[in-house]
Structure 1
């Protein structure tokens, strides 16, 4: 009855809660449906140009973003209503009824929930439709790219096409000549030149200085910083200064183009060429700078890629030539190709048949122009690949630890050789687009690899400045991690270089931000960052609490060191566990869907990791029960020593010969362990003593008692005592039994007591016996006969005077040792008549 009243009261309170669904500005679905239908029809016909297709895709992306944002409408209200429905309890089972007020409230909340969820459901359907159109556009674009890549152009090997290339050059020269002559014949241009003459002169002088001397100045300053300055971080400073070798000539070229434009003496076509020349110069100078960093010319300078000093001059030459090839290709693509049809067909609008013929002529001319560049660039790629392979042999002989880096460089070198051969061959055959898609991305990728390596070198130099240590700076953790991060950041650039569209990368980024499902759990960057940040904060707080307990609080308590370490370790485990739980909860990850998977995996994990789990549980038991603690002297099996650390998996013991033994915690729990110092450090010492037969036993006991009581580490409560234990085979046996205040010094106490026993026994004339054994010979007559025979054979024979004895033809065996003959007759007697041998 009480529960029923409480439930009705809760329902009344829920009814009293104000609930109003938000009515946000909804997307214009009418306009969207019209736009989507038109886009689907346009894409299905596949007659739209690439530019319009790109614009249409951008519009669809904007619509999809709008719908995605609209899916989160009323999220707070939906969560509130769901919690209210859950508070009403489970709906009645089939055939059962519930309170009318609760049933009415459940129906109202269900209707409200449906209304709140309706805008999100509609937006989700529209977003799905927009995403489908985007995917269709991407598929169409990729098909067009594939067709363009595999298009067969006129072959440069065909001499017929050479005339088209010559015609292109002739008409280009004629156009430029005509418009330049016309410009020089206009008096107004000279008036403009006179008005701007001072500024033009200044620009020309500055450009000449920067282009001719700027790079040399920066190079000299860089060499001075490397050779004359001994300050730390000079390589970092010189690296930034060396960038002036690229920037100053480029700035000079831009100033020169500005001066030429102010003169008004050159026509549009030639000025367009002049505007492209600074970029060409920038590419060449940048290649020269990058080559000087990868293949430095100064002896002893470190290469950005860690290359050896052999072949560096050749490497710099090839890199500069690749920069020249890329610059010329840039001119062909951005200046000649867009105007090829105009040069060959003349200005104005052409008929369709004539336009197709002019386009075919332009295609042949461009193929002829690009063929020498492709061959030249392919040769440079081939030579660089060979150079890198030679470098690998030298580097492998010098450094055996960089196996991964060497294998990666070997793969790159082989790829360069293959591309350097395949690219020009495809271009000469006629697959100009395919050749361009292989050669120029390969060269650009090499440049990007060099830039990443140079940036990593800058980070390493900066790390040297911070840590003030130059030893193996590139192999330090921070530079290696920086290189890894730089490589990850360069992956999108590599994708763009090799033909990926910016739209494709943006689509991947959108999908990444939206997250992905992992066993029913939604993982997104926001969730991941929340998880990492919350866990990092919890982990830091745990470590701070552990540090405060270990250094400030626990030392002031009466707990021993083992108990303090156990508390600190327990706080660490609990803190990490709570940090993980809080991080998962704050990130909003629902792990209930992974329960079945976790249950299935637990069986396999239980079999595979049962030993680790057993040791982990044993470690927790050790930390809670504390049968052993750090600093205890324990004995486990045949190993004994001092406990140095107790972890969740194993215990580290330092033996008395200063070696470390790692004992699994399960052995300490399930096996027999002797703890010499667990309760206290006191322990019993037993010193056996033997005296000769005939000694005064009472006197011996008194002397031993005095020696034991005189030692400072022997406790007097209980007092030590001496026992006359037994009559031994060689001595009368006594034992000193004493309790030491610190059993850790038992070996030293035993040694000191033995010294005093020896000294007192010498003073009192008490003999310490040693073992004696009688030797009995079995069959002594055999030994005597052998001795006599050996003596007779060893006697010298008389030789007549003047006669030289002849040496025997065969070597004579040496005489037999007389003892060897009787050695078999000797035996050790035992209790049955054999002899017992003890050589002590």
Structure 2
């Protein structure tokens, strides 16, 4: 019964699987809707007449569709891989003119058709994603072109007095619109009804807001002073920074409550509400700038400061920072409100195209006249700020390469600010008001971003010093430098937004980065890289754990010597790293087959440019496997003698007996001649030459030397020490003492002790140790005595020795031409 049920179940599954496969190949995406959207987007790009808001809306829709298509590209991935494996199992397809078994051919055809059916949804999704990519790229290109045209548009010059009434008209139009709106609100039957109903809430909000705005910063400063007196010096800077955030938050909260209280009165219309919110933004920027200026240009020397300036210059820096922030806020949200509402006010009543053109020219002239004074004032402040940065260079002394590089950046930034402060007003005066705005205001906001990064870097550095309990040298360590680098990287998207990049551009860049970058036919995405890094690190940690277990637990209990243990541990490390890399590559799905050509080129480079490194690497592996030398061996190679301290895959480190380290390439140890004094055992022979004067009893000398050798504790008695009478030398009778030491590492100490004993025993026995002597004969001694030579017939030409007293003192200019040296040996007596 069970067998029948099993067969029935297998039959049902067999009939259902094809239906399931076909169901999986069905396409869940509505391609008809996609085609309509894509066609409409292409028509919009072709017409180039829709506003930017319409392009942004349809671009968002295209991005959503592209995400769906990219997810659909992996449809039926499991079935596709299974069918491909089945096709490969059938063997290679027959070449042209060849045939194969009909059953295999039919099966190959069926699997090929099934594979095409499974791949169809993914191929269609890939095609649709490519189309979406193309349309999105065209939209971005069109919007960037519009932005460029706007920047390069020439408007009426604000220096021309003819255009000044336009600015007055824009301001009067805005003022009139606000007055009209307020009048309309006050003309209602009971305009204060809502204010009376919400009076308790409004009064409470106003009181709290005024209290926070007026006294909030003072409270925070007193709290910081109180905490600073009770905390350790390492924690003072950290707590001071954290508490100082209240200098921003409390006043900004007060401004928000103030604006909210005014709006709750219901006395203000839409234009007044926008106007009040713009004023709130300006006030918030004012308080934020005060805090930021106080951190960059501190009032006291107890706070860390990024710039080296005198107190009066720091005061000027705070004033410039706050002033630039206020101007940027006025030009930013407040200026945008003026532009939008000004267009709405002036466009009222313009029905014909000529009237619209006239209003457009009036707007350009009016906004140029209003923006130019702000540009000039901001340029003056930027010029002073650039000079302030240059003054920092004069006060700073670069003590390191890092500080010198930072000072060069500060100098370049100061020069750039001065140049921008000159160029921007000129552009605005000519009529390129948009270009001047796009140059000067992003510069001010970039300065604020840089200041914020510097302040955060100082805070995290102080936090690192506090957590690690390190002194100020911890500020120059690696971790604070990495923190500064990460903060700089994180600020790049904000800098791009400041300089005109759209959020959609950044999202597009992130999407492309997330999808991966193609390098040599390999797609590397953050997910692939993260998978590779995690698995490789896990493999590396496992390898280190195995090495540690072998080094501390297993290998010390074996009879393998230290060199062999090190070789095993190193081999396990290399094998583990290789396996970790292979497993990580396979798990990440990286196909290295496409890099075959690159690998071939690298092999050629290895064969020519890296052959020395590869030779040393292979030699290091041979040293670790064959172990002709080990750590602790006393070796001599290339004229260098010392103890092996470490063997790596590229070189071997030797410590000489004068405590200097010599790095020897492994190839020299394999190809050259190496003397290993302690490889097989520690025994070694010492040969000590000894010479005695002629006439000495040689048997007595032999007896004394043999007795001295046997009395040394490190001299082995098997084989016994021997004394050899080598022969008759030029100056002495030559002997050799030959002994075998149990530990050759003490050869110099034994040699020294034996020399001491020989000298003492020879002195007691009256045996002389000869030494080479020299006799000086003067052929004409009278030249050195300063006397006239005798006549030739009476001159005594027989050489005879003279003493130092006979020489006298040579006169200036008199040489030593008559001196002749004659070497003579010693026969044991004095001369």
Query: How does the TM-score come out when normalised to structure 1?
Result: 0.89
Distance 2:728 2:766 in 1: 20
Report what 1:301 is aligned to.
303
Aligned with residue 825 of structure 1, among 797, 818, 828 = 818
| Contact 1:165-1:366 within 8 A present in 2 as well | yes
Distance 2:814 2:422 in 1: 88
Distance 1:304 1:785 in 2: 82
Report what 1:739 is aligned to.
740
Aligned with residue 205 of structure 2, among 203, 206, 213 = 203
Report what 2:651 is aligned to.
650
**1:577-625 superposed Cα distances (whole Å, 9 cap, x missing partner):** 1111111111111111111222123213321111111111111111111
Report what 1:330 is aligned to.
332
Distance change >3 Å, CA 308–CA 746, structure 1 → 2: farther
Structure 1 SS opposite 2:83: helix
Q: Which moved more, 1:298-307 or 1:374-383?
A: 298-307
Distance change >3 Å, CA 729–CA 139, structure 1 → 2: same
Structure 2 SS opposite 1:729: coil
For residues 560-599 of structure 1, the aligned pairs below 5 Å read 560-599=561-600
Q: Which runs of 5+ in 1 are unaligned?
A: 1-14, 790-814
Report what 2:670 is aligned to.
669
Report what 1:159 is aligned to.
161
Q: RMSD of aligned C-alpha atoms? A: 2.8
Structure 2 SS opposite 1:148: helix
Q: How many residues align?
A: 796
Report what 1:801 is aligned to.
none
> How far does residue 309 in structure 1 lie from its aligned partner after superposition?
6.6
Report what 2:4 is aligned to.
none
Structure 1 SS opposite 2:740: strand
Structure 1 SS opposite 2:738: strand
Pair 1:473 & 2:474 matched: yes
Structure 1 SS opposite 2:96: coil
Distance change >3 Å, CA 25–CA 204, structure 1 → 2: same
Structure 1 SS opposite 2:739: strand
> How far does residue 476 in structure 1 lie from its aligned partner after superposition?
1.5
| Contact 1:424-1:435 within 8 A present in 2 as well | yes
For residues 157-306 of structure 1, the aligned pairs below 5 Å read 157-180=159-182, 183=185, 188-226=190-228, 229-304=231-306
Distance 2:301 2:461 in 1: 20
Structure 2 SS opposite 1:642: strand
Distance 1:532 1:195 in 2: 63
**1:15-57 superposed Cα distances (whole Å, 9 cap, x missing partner):** 9996634234421122222332232223211121211111111
> How far does residue 677 in structure 1 lie from its aligned partner after superposition?
0.9
| Contact 2:285-2:326 within 8 A present in 1 as well | yes
Report what 1:799 is aligned to.
none
Report what 1:417 is aligned to.
418
**1:695-731 superposed Cα distances (whole Å, 9 cap, x missing partner):** 2222221121111111111111212111122222332
| Contact 1:176-1:269 within 8 A present in 2 as well | yes
Distance 1:341 1:822 in 2: 111
Distance 1:783 1:254 in 2: 111
> How far does residue 265 in structure 1 lie from its aligned partner after superposition?
4.0
Structure 2 SS opposite 1:517: strand
| Contact 2:307-2:392 within 8 A present in 1 as well | no
Distance change >3 Å, CA 401–CA 95, structure 1 → 2: closer
| Contact 1:211-1:252 within 8 A present in 2 as well | yes
For residues 445-460 of structure 1, the aligned pairs below 5 Å read 445-460=446-461
**1:666-694 superposed Cα distances (whole Å, 9 cap, x missing partner):** 11111111111111111111122222222
Distance change >3 Å, CA 818–CA 503, structure 1 → 2: closer
For residues 376-775 of structure 1, the aligned pairs below 5 Å read 376-775=377-776
Distance 2:347 2:77 in 1: 63
Distance change >3 Å, CA 341–CA 129, structure 1 → 2: closer
| Contact 1:385-1:413 within 8 A present in 2 as well | yes
| Contact 2:438-2:499 within 8 A present in 1 as well | yes
Distance 2:100 2:539 in 1: 46
Structure 2 SS opposite 1:26: coil
Aligned with residue 62 of structure 2, among 60, 63, 66 = 60
> How far does residue 783 in structure 1 lie from its aligned partner after superposition?
5.5
| Contact 1:294-1:307 within 8 A present in 2 as well | no
Q: Which moved more, 1:740-749 or 1:690-699?
A: 690-699
Distance 1:640 1:309 in 2: 63
Structure 1 SS opposite 2:695: coil
Aligned with residue 97 of structure 1, among 93, 96, 99 = 99
For residues 356-371 of structure 1, the aligned pairs below 5 Å read 356-371=357-372
